[in-house]
Amino acid sequence: MAACEPTRTYLRCVSANRPLLSFVSVIRSDFANARPNTDLMTHNIDVSLINCIIFRGEPSAVIPRIAGPSFMTGKTLMHTQPAHTEVEPRCSAEALAEREQAFQAKIDADIKIEPKDWMPQAYRQSLVRQISQHAHSEIVGMLPEGNWLTRAPSLRRKLILLAKVQDEAGHGLYLYSAAETLGASREALIEALHAGQAKYSSIFNYPTLTWADVGAIGWLVDGAALINQIPLCRCSYGPYARAMRRICKEESFHQRQGYEIMLTLCRGTAAQKRMAQDALNRWWWPSLMMFGPPDAESSHTQQSMRWKIKRHTNDALRQKFIDQSVSQADYLGLTPPDPELKWNEQTGHYDFGTIDWSEFWRVLKGEGPCNRERIEARRRAYDEGRWVREAALVFGAKQTRRAPGTD
Instruction: Give me the long-range contacts of 339-343 (CB less than 8 A, separation at least 24).
Output: none
Sole binder of another protein in the list 158, 199, 256, 349 (CB under 8 A): 158
- In the stretch 382-401, what mask flags binding to another protein with x, by CB under 8 A? x-xxxxxxxxx-xx--x---
329 touches 336 (CB < 8 A): yes
Would you put residue 10 in left (φ > 0), alpha (ψ -120 to 50) or beta?
A: beta
User: What is the Cα 324 distance to its own chain's centre?
Assistant: 22
- For another protein, the closer CB: 269 or 358: 269
- For another protein, the closer CB: 153 or 294: 153
Which of these, 323, 362, 336, lies nearest to 223 by C-alpha position?
323
CB of 142 to another protein, least distance (A): 4
- For another protein, the closer CB: 234 or 380: 380
Burial of 286 (0-12, 13-18, 19+ CB in 10 A): buried
> What is the Cα–Cα distance from 288 to 352, expressed in whole angstroms?
11
Would you put residue 269 in left (φ > 0), alpha (ψ -120 to 50) or beta?
A: beta
- Phi, then psi, of 374 in degrees rounded to 5: -65, -50
> What is the Cα–Cα distance from 327 to 313, expressed in whole angstroms?
23
- For another protein, the closer CB: 10 or 343: 10
**Residue 192 three-state SS:** helix
Span interacting with another protein, options 53-61, 106-114, 137-145, 229-237, rule CB under 8 A: 137-145
> What is the Cα–Cα distance from 78 to 63, expressed in whole angstroms?
12
Judged by CB under 8 A, the number of residues near another protein is 69
Is residue 336 a contact point for another protein (CB under 8 A)? no
- In the stretch 237-276, what mask flags binding to another protein with x, by CB under 8 A? ------------------------x--xx--xx-xx----
CB of 168 to another protein, least distance (A): 9
Scanning residues 286 to 325, which ones bind another protein (CB under 8 A)? none
- In the stretch 16-45, what mask flags binding to another protein with x, by CB under 8 A? --xxxxxxxx-xxxxx-------------x
- For another protein, the closer CB: 57 or 153: 153
Which of these, 77, 105, 103, 78, lies nearest to 88 by C-alpha position?
103
Scanning residues 49 to 88, which ones bind another protein (CB under 8 A)? 68-69, 71-72
CB of 239 to another protein, least distance (A): 18
CB of 69 to another protein, least distance (A): 5
Is residue 149 a contact point for another protein (CB under 8 A)? yes
- At position 36, the amino acid (one-letter code) is P
Q: Half-sphere exposure (CA, 13 Å, Cβ side) for 146?
A: 15
In 291-340, alpha helices (H): 301-306, 314-332
Q: Which residues bind another protein (CB under 8 A)?
A: 8, 10-11, 18-25, 27-31, 45, 68-69, 71-72, 139, 142-143, 146, 149-159, 162-163, 165-166, 169-170, 172-173, 176, 211, 261, 264-265, 268-269, 271-272, 377, 380-382, 384-392, 394-395, 398
